[in-house]
Chain A
Amino acid sequence: MSEQHITLPEGSIERVTQTLNLGPTHPATHGVFQNILEIDGERVVSSESTVGYIHRAFEKIAERRPYYQITPLTDRLNYCSSPINNMGWHITVEKLLGIQTPKRVDYLRVIIMELARICDHLICNGVVGVDTGAFTGFLYLMRWRELAYEIYEEICGSRLTTNIGRVGGFERNFTPAAFEKIEKFLVEFPKALKEFETLMNRNRIFMERTQGVGPISAERAMNYGFTGPNLRAAGVDYDLRVAHPYSSYEDFEFSIPVGTTGDCYDRFLVRNGEMWESLSIIRQAMDKVKALPADVYHADVPAYYLPEKSDVYTKMEALIYHFKIIMGESDILPGELYNAVEGANGELGFYLISDGGRSPYRLHFRRPCFIYYQAYGELIKGAMLSDALICMSSLNLIAGELDA
């Protein structure tokens, strides 16, 4: 506080803090979060967050659904990168059932997951741009997100809530058109990303707005349960793809971008860096896929993987399996496991307890957003109101994931 030049009368508004209600439908909060801020002029003194505005009871629904019907639920967790959630769930179930997927399936999965990561980071960084006053980047990048959505569409038929893949592999093989589109993406997107970086990274205004905003030390971040890009921005190189590789991530060469201060600018740079890494991973995966026989797209587990429709009509065995899977009668082993994948904004964990029944006994999603959003109050303490909003968008909070 600077020294006072005028003497304020008792009870005047400058001498008291005010309460400001931000949300749940405030236009500047992307998603439905409510924050009640205590502000002193423009500075945030303290804040209290309320969440749960789109609580949809995923965990309860999951206790009533057979395993394959849970995939569409996972779509709706982090809907900016639903393929990662889908695959995470499939990998969890495969681990429970002891299914070994062929290498080609793993690589195809990697391609899709990295594409999803790019889409997610694209939105997050675009939105940070919007909040600092640069709408251009967002509008420009949206075009390439559409391209990625076209790739999803080519593979599974839908754009956003993909429901991509099945337990054991993919529902159908990638078409040549899908590969073409991925190639196209790999050629065109780097140019756009480069341009975006030129626009933002060394932009004076952008740097002023984001540097030193919402910083967090590595130690605090870990205590708060940060994972993913937000933790890496604080300088911890924790990435599940390296720490506990799944889906053959150990076959790929990539580095983990880390920041130092954990502020909005670092988070932005880490996300940008990750997009480049993802591109390189996709590139490598494409090369690897080419070297493998082109007709493998699922594991050979007839008891869990839906048979071809034409076989169902002609072969008795296929019909039985089809019936068993659809009616939820396939044998699921009892067991208890925790499996996590590196979601677009952190460690997305599935804690699954199966009692051998048709649906899980208990399924808990470890949603990274939910856990790190607690730190928001601490991050914005003492910051300006407008910085608090940038801080919120740079954390990449996805309401669907947060509220489950």
Chain B
Amino acid sequence: MARPVQYNTKVKTVEIPEGYSGEGFFATSFDKAIGLARKNSIWPLPFATSCCGIEFMATMASTYDLARFGAERMAFTPRQCDLLMVMGTISKKMGPVLRQVYLQMAEPRWVMAVGACASSGGVFDTYSVLQGIDQVIPVDVYVPGCPPRPEAIIDGFMRIQDLIGQESLRRRHSDKYKELLNSYGIQ
């Protein structure tokens, strides 16, 4: 009986960035090479609080499998992660905790707000819910939906990949970026 082993023959390689190539060498800018490496091995930190977190579970699990996008390793320590995925309602009680987690992450760091609640407060326009996490931390990508389907979460993830791939290495040192952080009271 044939053993149920399959060899993955459909290996996909990433596109080669623009650059000069000649015999035995290939030259491109640091931006592109590093961006390429970064975007294909993102370590997400799932910050799942409620319903959207359950959809994220589905995204991670067998059917949708986020690992295909280079995000195999869910790390739960903010120190080692690049991408903070905020999924679910963030209440005012939780706000400072979220901020603390963000502050602990090392640069460069990205933030993705998954779901209506994280993006804007969603249906909960109430005294206890933070009206969007962008009140306490800067956000790169918003994923709409209540909850977003796993496909949407994956799409948001790919947008993050695009951002990361194109980011200039200088961005995090620019005045504009510092100003952005300052507007959130982060030094």
Contact = CB atoms under 8 A, between A and B. Distances in A.
Do A's and B's CB atoms come within 8 Å in the complex?
A: yes
Interface stretch (A25-33, A236-244, A285-293, A351-359): A25-33
B103 to A, nearest CB: 13
A56 B128 contact: yes
A228 interface: no
Interface residues of A, number: 34
B94 A139 contact: no
B97 A56 contact: no
12 contacts: A25-B47, A31-B49, A54-B89, A57-B124, A57-B126, A60-B126, A139-B61, A140-B62, A142-B61, A143-B61, A160-B51, A160-B54
Interface stretch (A72-80, A206-214, A361-369, A375-383): A72-80
Interface in A249-301: none
A382 to B, nearest CB: 27
B146 A161 contact: yes
A335 interface: no
B50 interface: yes
A160 B147 contact: yes
A15 B85 CA distance: 41
Nearest to A24: B97
Interface in B127-160: 127-129, 146-147, 149
Interface in B102-130: 123-124, 126-129
B124 A159 contact: no
A25 B63 contact: no
A167 interface: no
B94 A53 contact: yes
A73 B128 CA distance: 15
B76 interface: yes
A25 B97 CA distance: 8
Interface in B24-57: 47, 49-51, 54-55, 57
B51 A139 contact: no
A105 interface: no
A142 B50 contact: no
B62 A55 contact: no
A52 interface: yes
Contact of A79 (B50, B62, B76): B50
B97 A55 contact: no
Contacts of A56: 89, 91, 124, 126, 128-129
Contacts of B50: 54, 76, 79, 399-400
Interface in A137-165: 138-140, 142-143, 145-146, 149, 159-161
B163 interface: no
Nearest to A23: B97
A199 interface: no
Contacts of B51: 75-76, 79, 160-161, 400
Interface string A8-24: 00000000000000001
Contacts of B129: 56-57
B54 A54 contact: no
A76 B52 CA distance: 10
Interface of A: 24-25, 27, 31-32, 52-57, 60-61, 72-73, 75-76, 79-80, 123, 138-140, 142-143, 145-146, 149, 159-161, 399-400, 403
Nearest to B117: A56
A53 to B, nearest CB: 5
B74 to A, nearest CB: 9
Interface string B62-104: 1100000000000010000000000011110110010001000
Contacts of A32: 49, 94
Given A54-B50, A56-B124, A80-B54, A25 B93 contact: no
Contacts of B58: 142, 145-146, 149, 159
Most B CB contacts (10 A, CB to CB) among A53, A54, A75, A160 go to: A54
Contacts of A54: 49-50, 88-91, 94
Contact of B93 (A52, A73, A80): A52
A140 B62 CA distance: 7
B32 to A, nearest CB: 34
A288 B10 CA distance: 48
B183 to A, nearest CB: 25
A125 to B, nearest CB: 14
Contact of B124 (A25, A61, A160): A61
A131 to B, nearest CB: 14
Shortest 5 CB-CB distances between A and B: which pairs?
A: A27-B76, A142-B61, A79-B51, A57-B126, A400-B50
A72 B61 CA distance: 26
A159 B89 contact: no
Contacts of B88: 54
Nearest to B64: A146
A57 B127 contact: yes
Contact of A24 (B57, B89, B94, B147): B94
A290 B144 CA distance: 40
A241 B145 CA distance: 34
B147 A55 contact: no
Contacts of B54: 79-80, 123, 160
A25 B147 CA distance: 20
